[in-house]
Amino acid sequence: MRLGLVLAFLSGAVLGAGPHGSPGQHASVAPPVRMLRTQVATKTPDSVLTDQDGRRFALRDLRGKAVLVSFVYTSCPDVCPVMFHVVTEVQKRVQAEGHGDVASVFVTTDPEIDSPEVLKTFAVRRSVDFSATTLLTGKPDELQAVWSAFGVKVKRLGRGLVDHSPLTVLIDTRGVMRYRYLGGFPQAEIVAADVRKVLKNRATK
């Protein structure tokens, strides 16, 4: 999908309506299609990867927070920038509302390019709040285990170009995966409502 088309649909994705696409797909027209949202109740894989500062990081470190995990890569020419923007905006919005702590995590699908230094540069350029956002990379075998555990398919097309499942998941405060959002244009209003619901359920237990 061409970058100009992606940017044209960006506002729609943030407001909760946008087209669906997959990395590596190029087209001049993309019909507006809603993301595929699935409610689940699955224990989150206990994975350990490397963050943007070169430190080892486990998802279990975020217990007590609602966590959005998205699979992207920094040189992606189309949907990944939209996914990154929507997820970080949802995190900031719900956090600011005072419902509880929300974290966003981005797992690379291109370890060949995405070193910790590259991830940090990518995030700094987007004025990311590192107290609430983490970017993860790792050895190919470590990442493959994480991709497989989350059901993410990854196909390397060339240096800096990867086709992968455009997946974002929502994990509750106890480390249980509650929602899966498949699509490169997550609908922010729906995702934000689910995050609020997860935090409310924590407060009532």
Question: Over the range 125-135, which residues count as b (16 or more CB within 10 Å of their CB) and which as e?
Answer: eeebeeebbbb
DSSP for residue 77: S
pLDDT (0 to 100) of residue 21: 36
Note the pLDDT tens digit of each residue in 132-172. Answer: 999 999 999 999 999 999 999 999 989 988 889 999 999 99
User: ∠ at Cα 21 (17, 23), nearest 5°?
Assistant: 140
**pTM score of the predicted model:** 0.82
List of the chain residues with pLDDT < 70: 1-34, 203-205
pLDDT (0 to 100) of residue 124: 96
Task: Give residues with Cβ within 8 angstroms of 132, minimum separation 6.
Answer: 91, 92, 95, 101, 102, 103, 104
pLDDT (0 to 100) of residue 184: 80
Backbone angles phi, psi at 127, to 5 degrees: 55, 45
DSSP for residue 62: G
pLDDT (0 to 100) of residue 203: 59
Angstrom CA distances, 50 to 16, 47, 136, 177, stand at 32, 10, 5, 21
**CATH number for domain 3-204, candidates 3.40.190.170, 3.40.30.10, 1.20.950.20, 3.30.70.1280:** 3.40.30.10
Question: Which residues pair with residue 156 across a beta bridge?
Answer: 162
